[in-house]
Amino acid sequence: MFNNRIKVKALLAGEPAGQQATVMGWVRTFRNNQFVALNDGSTNNNLQVVLELGKFDDTLLKRITTSAALKVTGTVVASQGKGQKLELKADTIEILGDSDAEKYPLQPKKHSLEFLREKAHLRFRTNTFGSVFRIRHSLAFAIHKFFNEKGFVYLHTPIITASDAEGAGEMFRVSTLPFDNPPRREDGTIDFSEDFFGRATNLTVSGQLEGELGATAFGEIYTFGPTFRAENSNTARHLAEFWMIEPEMAFCDLEDNANLAEEFIQYIIRYAMEHNADDLEFLRQRLLEEEKAKPQTERSELDLIQKLEFVVNNQFERITYTEAIDILLQSNHYKKKKFQYDVSWGIDMQSEHERYLVEKHFKKPVIVTNYPKDIKAFYMRQNEDGKTVAAMDILAPGIGEIVGGSQREERLERLEQRMTEMNIPHEELWWYLDTRRFGTVPHAGFGLGFERIVQFVTGMSNIRDVIAFPRTPKSAEF
RNA sequence: UCCUCCUUAGCUCAGUUGGUUAGAGCAUCUGACUGUUAAUCAGAGGGUCGUUGGUUCAAGUCCAACAGGGGGAGCCA
């Protein structure tokens, strides 16, 4: 029986009234042969367990090492020391699991994030990762809560997909054919008709196309699942395996889409602020410490919590692509030739351009709409000007593109014409085109990279530190 | 994938123009102390200097390749 335990979070929230309590957790530090800082993952705050001198065996005390698992029963009393309101005066201590101090790699001190990345199986036991992953959980939960309250259906789109039409990037092949000697056709190409699914299949790069099938029946759906890109991207904001949220709404245009995206982002951030105040406070302090090493000019004006409050309490800026280009062209930054890449209408904005708009010009999240059709996907709705499509990107300070979405082309002829222009095989997407044949309606949706919003909320600068076990090129340990 | 920087003790790092036995703080271990907050004090152990090859009388130090990692860029979410 273990369920008589009280979690540290609950215990710390109560009053020290001399009541009995049993806690279980892992030792963070053992000071003075007398004070155990015990953490059970329910909160960043440790419980101070006090061991009366002489009350416990030396052999037991020797086994209270960093990260040993303990069961402690004792009396909850007001703390005599500073730093905590209450503490647990131990009556009995049971070592549930020993931890060899000479071999345990984490010390009660500050470790670099790079080092902890190589100890990803243990990094949850640190304050930073404890906070990050509790916040990650809250955001995931808030996402389901938000859509559920709005009547969206949670649709599970396939992980294995046969369509390569989305063009969202390089894909991971899924196959049971032998690598060393795959069956070949007469022309030497691999014969996938003999593969498991009878055709070439890959891991999904997006659930959007299937999402549209759901939206044109349920009205409003969302997906929230793993997504895979085999791009050789080595950056602080890319993963080969990441989680994406893709809502898709029928009877919805670009403006409705932008409104929903903004409301959604504010909702989930607000949820984390309400439910993870301690974790955010810890991360706020952590970032302040980190910024002390930087020159004053590079430090951020707002701390983490101020930044989140600002985002939650202010409307996102909304501009068209054309306006964005004008702002860039008229900026002093451009006139002084400080952009590495040139600016003109029709370019796919580089991250330096996006960063200028978001971090220098507006200093808040920006929704950019109506991009040139030539730099966007085939399924986006063509605007009447013949040049742009009803696309929408949300750019966030410090992260870049956090949301990419659009109103979809619901007119069959326009969609087919665009697919032809972009060399997208019609026959492969017959099922997608059927939505436009049978009761087509204006609809829209977007994709939000989950890890990027977790980065934004936690202030972690590397995406590998907001997913438990990151998959990146040349790296799939754990 | 491109540019750039890094790799020395368990961790964070120092190591001079190439020169004998490679250092510090923390951690660990031993002891002391005991209301501590990354406890403190004293002592001890701990190293194939990322790997391979080269230059040299002599390489942690110079050169090359490879591996891993950081930062920036591209691709994107």
The model's confidence at residue A450, banded by pLDDT at 50, 70 and 90, is very high
Residue A166's pLDDT is 60
Give distance CA A168 / C1' B76 (Å): 8
* Chain A span 74-93 residues with beta carbon within 7 Å of strand B: 79-84, 87, 89
Nucleotides of B under 7 A from a protein CB: 1-2, 10-13, 26-30, 33-39, 67-77
What is the spatial order of strands in the sheet that A173-174 belongs to? A160-161, A201-203, A173-174
Q: How confident is the model at residue A136 (pLDDT cuts 50, 70, 90)?
A: very high
* pLDDT (average), residues A66-83: 92
pTM, 2 dp: 0.94
Distance B28 C1' – A102 CA (angstroms): 5
| Helix locations, A240-294, DSSP H | 254-275, 277-292
- CATH code reported for the domain at A125-170+205-465: 3.30.930.10
* Residue length of chain A: 478
- Return the domain boundaries, chain A: 8-104, 125-170+205-465
Which pLDDT tens digit goes with each residue over A390-409? 999 999 888 888 999 999 99
Asked if strand B comes closer than 7 Å to A417 Cβ, the answer is: no
Interacting residues of A285 by C-beta distance below 8 A, sequence separation 6+: none
The pLDDT assigned to A163 comes to 74
Q: Are A224 and A143 in contact (CB under 8 A)?
A: yes
Å separating the CA of residue A260 from the C1' of nucleotide B67: 47
* Angle ∠(A289,A457,A333) on CA atoms, nearest 5: 80
Predicted confidence at residue A428, as pLDDT, reads: 87
Spatial distance between the Cα atoms of A381 and A392, rounded to a whole number of angstroms: 11
What is the distance between the alpha carbons of residues A339 and A321, in angstroms, rounded to a whole number?
18
Q: Class of A8-104 per CATH?
A: mainly beta
- Model confidence over A175-185: pLDDT tens digits? 999 988 999 99
Strands (E), A175-219: 201-203
pLDDT of residue A183: 94
> Nucleotide B72: nearest residue by CA–C1'?
A235
Query: Would the Cβ of A236 be found within 7 angstroms of any atom in strand B?
Result: yes
Q: Which of residues 142-171 of A touch strand B (CB under 7 A)?
A: 168-169
Model confidence at A381: pLDDT above 80: yes
Determine the distance between A111 (CA) and B13 (C1') in angstroms: 13
Output the CA torsion sign for A249, A250, A253, A254.
positive
Q: Whose C1' is closest to the CA of A206: which nucleotide? A: B77
As a whole-number percent, the residues of chain A with pLDDT over 70 amount to: 97
**Could you read off the pLDDT of A234-254 as tens digits, one per residue?**
889 999 999 999 999 999 999
| Distance B52 C1' – A120 CA (angstroms) | 30
Residue pointed to by tokens 């243990």:
A122
Helix (H) or strand (E) holding A214: helix A208-218
Provide the pLDDT confidence category of residue A327 given band limits of 50, 70 and 90: very high
> Which nt has its C1' nearest the CA of A109?
B38
List the single protein residue with the shortest CA to C1' distance from B46.
A102
Query: Which range has the worst mean pLDDT, A100-109, A302-311, A364-373, A446-455?
Result: A100-109
User: In angstroms, rounded to a whole number, what is the distance separating the alpha carbons of residues A220 and A250?
Assistant: 6
Q: Give the model's confidence band at A271: pLDDT under 50 very low, under 70 low, under 90 confident, else very high.
A: very high
- Rg (Cα) of chain A, in Å, rounded? 27
CA dist., res. A130 & res. A116, Å (int) = 12
Q: Which two tokens stand for residue A281?
A: 């406070």
Residue A401 pairs in a beta bridge with: A395
Question: Does residue A406 lie within 7 Å of nucleic acid chain B, judged by its CB?
Answer: no
Asked if strand B comes closer than 7 Å to A374 Cβ, the answer is no
CB < 7 Å to strand B — which of 248-287 in chain A?
none
- Whether A109 shows a pLDDT value over 80: the answer reads no
Are residues A162 and A201 in contact, defined by beta-carbon separation less than 8 angstroms? yes
Nucleotide nearest to A232 (CA to C1'): B1
Q: Which tokens sit at A32?
A: 């003075």
